[in-house]
């Protein structure tokens, strides 16, 4: 076992008993709500951009699919084999 692995194993054993106090998450959430923090605020800024990116991706996919179909159709029409 390398020195790093030994140190990580020792750290894991030393911190094995560490746990958050009961009710810690609830206390943090109540404090955030009491301070007026809106948990959905980041989503309100990012969600419209995500929808726009998704719509542009679909538009690009449809456009490139039509180009691919045209390329395959052109390739099918001009096949000649000489022996």
The answer to whether residue 37 sits within a structural domain is yes
Which pLDDT score, from 0 to 100, does residue 44 have?
A: 82
Convert the pLDDT of each residue in 44-70 to its tens digit: 888 899 999 999 999 998 887 766 666
Count of H-run helices and E-run strands, the chain: 3, 0
Q: Cβ contacts of residue 32 below 8 Å, gap of 6+?
A: 39
Task: Report the domain count for the chain.
Answer: 1
In a domain, 42, yes or no: yes
Print the domain residue range for 33. 3-77
In tens, the pLDDT along 7-55 reads 999 999 999 888 888 999 999 888 888 887 777 777 888 889 999 999 9
Q: In this predicted structure, what is the pLDDT of residue 17?
A: 85
The answer to whether residue 82 scores a pLDDT higher than 80 is no
Residue 83 inside a domain? The answer is no
Tell whether 7 is covered by a domain.
Answer: yes
- Report yes or no on 82 lying in a domain: no
């Amino acid at each position: 076992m390398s020195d790093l692995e030994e140190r990580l194993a020792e750290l894991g054993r030393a911190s094995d008993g560490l746990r958050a106090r009961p009710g810690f998450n609830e206390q943090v959430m109540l404090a955030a709500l009491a301070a007026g923090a809106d948990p959905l605020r980041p989503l309100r800024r990012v969600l419209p951009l995500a929808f726009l990116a998704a719509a542009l991706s679909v538009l690009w996919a449809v456009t490139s699919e039509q180009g691919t179909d045209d390329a395959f159709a052109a390739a099918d029409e001009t096949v000649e084999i000489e022996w």
